[in-house]
Amino acid sequence: MKKSLSLLFGALCTFSAGAQGLKDVYQDAFLIGTIASNQQLMKPDADTSALFQREFNVLTAENDMKWQRIYPSPQGYNFAAADALMQQAEDCQCQVVGHTLIWHQQTPDWVFEDDAGNPVSREVLLGRMQSHINTLMTRYQDDVYGWDVVNEALNEDGTLRESRWREIIGDDYIAQAFRFATEANPNAELYYNDYNLNAPAKRDGAVRLVKSLLAQGVKVSGIGMQAHYMLRSPAISQIEESITAFASLGVKVMITELDISVLPFPKQAAIGAEISETAAFAEALNPYADGLPTDVQDALATRYRELFALFYKHRDDISRVTFWGTHDGTSWKNNWPVRGRTDYPLLIDRQGQPKPAYEAVATLPASIAQ
């Protein structure tokens, strides 16, 4: 009879002194990243810092380099948390990816409006875009090796999303952002980042977008495939088709924002990562408040192992895998799309200890090599 992964890995579910972290296990394949929340940056704790240092070699700010946080008003920037990220990365010997320069969410209204609240002109908004990109990229040019220049610019059918950036500047706002980023730091890697890129229509839209940019001579270094996945979807085959499609463009592929929710998804919310899509709390949507059953723990471990087997297979094309959270207690999935739930989407539990899913991922390369 097949033993459960929880039983197989049960004796291993604690970090052993001297054992390799994920960054070491995958050092010949791709970088392993995670995010730092504002709490972790402004009030760092020794346990989380130890996890950063042990497991990861890339850090990204969860929210603190988004326009709303770092440039909340015309009165000036607030660099405190971003500066703390650079210090944390130095202390943990991690590289840094900047997230994100241009996004339709978490951008203050004042960016798009004049003093009377009317929309600004194309020229004014382009000026604000260029100034913002230049300010961040020059301030952190020695610390940040890659940037999510434009985030989530596509609809689910692959067409360009309606946003205030597009409304005021026009369809070329994406190309302009990448051009400004190239001017600000010619040595930085520049990425397009989006969710649901496994879906064929959206995948095709991303291919058209990046092909068009490259044809115009615009620098695009890579595509970030946000991986906010479920236990049973999307299909591994769909993810693989997107990896190969993007790699065929000659750009790097990154698996970004990786987490796997074990909770039921409310029908009224669209599966993806559109933060405006939310649903009301219901007990039926929070089935594991008192702990994760063994069979679900096993399913999570199996799912992570299948995903990392795919990533490892395509390690020549994938340059980085970044988890959207360090341990279950820090995950945004506890509060989105339903606030107040208890989710278990990551490899490390709320007590900072490895789950069976961690062991499934950590032992994969060695098992393949045998």
pLDDT (0 to 100) of residue 369: 76
Angle at 308 between CA 304 and CA 311, to 5 degrees: 145
| Cα atoms in the Cβ-side hemisphere of radius 13 Å centred on 183 | 13
CATH entry 3.40.50.300 includes domain 5-11+22-369: no
pLDDT tens figures, 275-324: 666 777 788 889 899 999 999 999 999 999 999 999 999 999 999 999 99
To the query of whether residue 257 is one of the catalytic residues in this protein, the response is yes
Torsion of CA 147, 151, 153, 158, to 10 degrees: 90
pLDDT at residue 162 tops 80: yes
Q: Where are the domains of the chain?
A: 5-11+22-369
pLDDT at residue 267 tops 70: no
DSSP line for 49-116: HHHHHHH-SEEEESSTTSHHHHS-BTTB---HHHHHHHHHHHHHT-EEEEEEEEESSS--GGGGB-TT
Say if strands 95-103 and 318-323 run parallel, antiparallel, or are unpaired: unpaired
Q: How far is Cα 255 from Cα 325, in angstroms, rounded to an integer?
A: 14
pLDDT at residue 79 tops 60: yes
Mean pLDDT of all residues in the chain?
A: 93
pLDDT (0 to 100) of residue 284: 82
Interval 53-71 mean pLDDT: 97
pLDDT tens figures, 23-44: 999 999 999 999 999 999 999 9
pLDDT at residue 47 tops 80: yes
Residues 61 and 326: beta-carbon distance below 8 Å: no
Residues 311 and 242: beta-carbon distance below 8 Å: no
Q: Catalytic residue, from 62, 257, 274, 359: name it.
A: 257
| pTM to 2 decimal places | 0.92
pLDDT at residue 10 tops 90: no
pLDDT (0 to 100) of residue 268: 52
Q: Identify which has the larger pLDDT, 337 or 232.
A: 232
Please state, for a pLDDT cut of 70, what percent of the chain lies above it: 92
pLDDT at residue 140 tops 90: yes
To the query of whether residue 152 is one of the catalytic residues in this protein, the response is yes
pLDDT (0 to 100) of residue 265: 79
pLDDT (0 to 100) of residue 253: 98
Q: Catalytic residue, from 152, 189, 274, 359: name it.
A: 152
Cα dist from 135 to 19, 138, 275, whole Å: 41, 6, 27
pLDDT tens figures, 196-255: 999 999 999 999 999 999 999 999 999 999 999 999 999 999 999 999 999 999 999 999
pLDDT tens figures, 82-110: 999 999 999 999 999 999 999 999 999 99
Q: How far is Cα 186 from Cα 179, in angstroms, rounded to an integer?
A: 10
pLDDT (0 to 100) of residue 340: 87
